A = this chain, B = another copy of it.
C-alpha cells in the first residue's frame, strides 16, 4: 500500500487531493487538517527545526508538498514568506536527504504561474525564463531549482507542477487580486451579486479544481524517466478572457446570472492582473499525460457538479 504524506493537507486542493488518494495517509498542516478515518494527522510549523525530520521518518513513498504562504501574505510579510516558502521547502528536502539508506521518495511540488514575470511572448514556452515579480514567485522558483537539483543528485524523484489559476474556486469570496476570476461565476451561480474590477478583454490561464487534482495524482504516479533533468512543468490550462467566462456563465445559467455581475473598475487590481501571463505552450505536459479541462464550459460544469450539486 502506497504511503502518502500530504503537506498543506488542510487547504482547498489539499482536502480534495486527500479525498482522491487511496493508501496509507499522513496529513499535515499548520492547523490540524480534516482527515478520513485511518489517516495519521499532525500540525506544526514545517519551518521549525525537527518538524520535517519527524514527518519523513516514516519514509512515505510519495510526498505532496502543497504547504505555502500565499502570494499576498508573502508580499506583505517578507520574513514569513521566506521562512515558510523557502526555508520550509529546504528543511523538507534536507530531511529527506538525511534519511539515507537509499530512500528516494517521489516529491510533488506545487509551483505557480507566479514564477513568470512580464514582459511575456503571446504563448509562453516551457523554456521561458523564470523572472518572478513577487516574493512568492521568487520562493516558488527557488523551490523548483531545489527540486531539480535534489532530483539530479538522487535524493528525491521530484516533479514540480505550475498550476494554472484555479477556477471556479469553491468557497467564500476573498480579497486576492485574482479572486474575481472565480467570483464573477461562483457568486451568480449561487444567486448572488459579484463585482468585476477589470475590462472583459483581460485574459488569463485557468484550470478547474478537478483538473488540478488530476495533475497532482498524475505527478505522483507518472514515470519520471521521460522528464530528464527538467523537472518543472507548466500544467495545461484554458486561456480565456473575462468575456469568455461571462459567455460560459450565460450558457450555463442564463442572462439572469450574467446580470448579477456588477462592473466596478479597480485600477489597482488591473495593474496587478495586467502583469500576469495569458497563455502557455503546454506541449510537453500534454505529451507526458497531464490532462486539462476541455473548455471553459467544462470548468463551469465541474463547479456545478462537484460543488453546487454536492452541496
Evaluate contact between B152 and A141: CB separation under 8 angstroms.
no
Quick one: which of B129, B138, B148 contacts A149, CB cutoff 8 A? B138
A135 beta carbon closer than 8 Å to chain B? yes
Evaluate contact between A133 and B152: CB separation under 8 angstroms.
yes
Quick one: which of B138, B149, B229 contacts A146, CB cutoff 8 A? B138
Find chain B residues with CB under 8 A from A149 CB.
132, 135, 138
A291 beta carbon closer than 8 Å to chain B? no
Provide the A121-147 mask, 1 if CB < 8 A to any CB of B, else 0: 000001111111101001001100110
Evaluate contact between B142 and A145: CB separation under 8 angstroms.
yes
Q: In the assembly, how many copies of this chain are there? A: 2
Find chain B residues with CB under 8 A from A132 CB.
145, 148-149
Evaluate contact between B130 and A229: CB separation under 8 angstroms.
no
Find chain B residues with CB under 8 A from A145 CB.
130, 132, 138, 141-142, 145
Evaluate contact between B131 and A129: CB separation under 8 angstroms.
no
Find chain B residues with CB under 8 A from A153 CB.
78, 135
A230 beta carbon closer than 8 Å to chain B? yes
Distance in angstroms between the alpha carbons of A297 and B52 in the assembled complex: 55
A214 beta carbon closer than 8 Å to chain B? no
Quick one: which of B78, B129, B148, B230 contacts A127, CB cutoff 8 A? B129
Q: Which of A138-196 contact B (CB under 8 A)?
A: 138, 141-142, 145-146, 148-149, 152-153
A117 beta carbon closer than 8 Å to chain B? yes
> Which residues of A are at the interface with B, using a C-beta cutoff of 8 A?
78, 117, 126-133, 135, 138, 141-142, 145-146, 148-149, 152-153, 229-230
